[in-house]
Amino acid sequence: MSTSSPVVVGAAPLSIADVVSVARHAAPVIVSSEALERVAETRRVIDGLAADPNPHYGVSTGFGALATTFIAPDRRLQLQASLIRSHAAGTGAEVEREVVRGLQLLRLQTLASGRTGVRPVVVETYAALLNAGITPIVREYGSLGCSGDLAPLAHIALAAMGEGDVRSADGELVPASDALTDAGIEPVTLVEKEGLALINGTDGMLATLALALHDLESLLLAADMAAAMSIESQMGTDAVFAADLMALRPQLGQGESAGNLRAFLRDSPIVHSHKGPEDGRVQDAYSLRCSPQVHGTARDTLAHATLIAGRELASVIDNPVITVDGRIESNGNFHGAPVAAVLDFLAISVADVASVSERRTDRALDPARNHGLPPFLADEVGVDSGLMIAQYASAGIVSELKRLAVPASVDSIPSSAMQEDHVSMGWAAARKLRRAIDGLGRVLAIEILTGARALDLRAPLQAGPATGAVRDLVRTVAAGPGPDRYLSPDMEAVTALVQSGAVTRIAKEHAHD
């Protein structure tokens, strides 16, 4: 049972926090009464068009390349059901539960807008599915990100019809008909226009984007902390992060990252131990000195993507759509280009942040560059390998992240007999970004694990309050310097600290300038 506050749908645009709350934390949803009134009013427009002997797309015609085919009234129920069954054509592994729940929520928001022409019962059924914890099975492949995320959304609609398979609230794979019966939900029989309204949207890629933005905000602060631990333990300087130097290049993200680094390193005994004129080094390597520039660029990318996501969350995506003055109009708003582009943009920044993190880790393990630490931070050099292979893991992930940074949105394969001749591939962009974010968390965890051991090896010099707090957190799940141990569990445990936000919470306590 969720303890999160209910999210109201249909009164105002949803926020990223709303999506995360429902998708990840199972917050209940409530459809506003005003939204249900709008939905009922718009449905009367569709009912009028259904009675018109002239064809209207999605109401009395076929779909896509078959849009010129008139469908008689006695065949329209079959038309709607056939649309959903034929479009529920996903294949591959199951998509993660939180992504599917986000997709369900965002389609519910569009249905509640009163611009799609569905009946109130459809809106109420979608809300009931979410509140019952019923998660339709959506497959990895099937969407081109144009005409919306057709296949993923069709799998949601199929479940609302009581067909296909779903995951119950406890994660059990069951037929949708059984899950709906157990929850007391009546399957819907779709009528004119409703099939199209349920599948034309950018909801899958947008749900993934919303979750990614939430996670990246946390990971970028963790990246600043990881960099501080590396800079400190490698006897680097914080002078290059001075506010007046940052003001010479007033990039907002860079300034924020530099401010965090100043705060994390300000009271460090290790940093203060070599601040005098006796330190003959002129400047640190790029991976240390330029951390704010790299992390800051990712922050600026995040800000831009958040702007685009906010606009998309305020959008009504359907085709055709019922306008405020009652017209039914075809449009191209389902094209995923705006979302696909920022999904790809974020994947580029994720790869860059992970890349510079791995370089800082590698420096910490190299006695030629780590300023007095043992090779690979090993206990008995030669007998022990220390963190040598942890860096291999980081390098392997970074190599994959570079491949995942190749844009999906520059590709297009025509479909539907050339009616849909340019598509966004936004769903593919979303799927690869999700994998990339997981990889970034793991690379940062390896840097933090390395930084914690390096700080310990600087004794009797002590870490600063901020970095020391993270080192102490790491020590709750991974032992400090000593003979080689089974390393994978330590890496997984620190990854959990990073991905759960535990490192970020400490960083927030110290992130002031």
Q: Annotated active-site positions, please?
A: 57
Give the type of residue at 145: G
Cα–Cα distances in Å, from 77 out to 59, 187, 192, 392, 498? Answer: 11, 14, 7, 58, 50
Q: Can you read off the two tokens belonging to residue 253?
A: 């993200």
**Buried-state track 178-211, b at ≥16 Cβ within 10 A, e below 16:** ebbeeeebeebebbbbbbbbbbbbbbbbbbbbbb
Judged by DSSP in three states, 94 sits in: strand
C-beta atoms surrounding 53 within 10 Å = 7
Q: Are 503 and 225 in contact (CB under 8 A)?
A: yes
The identity of residue 7, as a single letter, is V
From 241, 171, 232, select the one nearest 451 (Cα to Cα). 232
The conformation of residue 113, written as its DSSP 8-state character, comes to T
Per the rule left: phi > 0, alpha: psi between -120 and 50, beta: everything else, 4 is: beta
In this structure, are residues 391 and 383 in contact, taking their beta carbons and an 8 Å threshold? no
| Rg (the chain; Cα; Å) | 26
162: tokens are 């009581």
Q: How many CA atoms lie within 13 A of 130 on its CB side?
A: 33
Give the C-alpha distances (Å, rounded to integers) separating 150 from 129, 139, 214, 376, 433: 19, 12, 25, 50, 20
Cα–Cα–Cα angle for 52, 58, 64, rounded to 5 degrees: 135
29: part of which helix (H) or strand (E)?
strand 29-31
Contact, 104 vs 132, CB < 8 A? no
CA atoms within 13 A on the CB side of 480: 13
Alpha-carbon gap, residue 91 to 354, rounded angstroms: 31
Conformation bin of residue 153: beta by default, left when phi > 0, alpha when psi is -120 to 50: alpha
- CA dist 492 and 241 (Å) reads 32
Determine the 3-state secondary structure of 152 from DSSP. Answer: helix
**Coil, strand or helix at 219:** helix
Residue 419 backbone dihedrals phi, psi, to 5 degrees = -70, -40
Question: For residues 8 and 28, what is the distance between their CA atoms, to the nearest angstrom?
Answer: 9
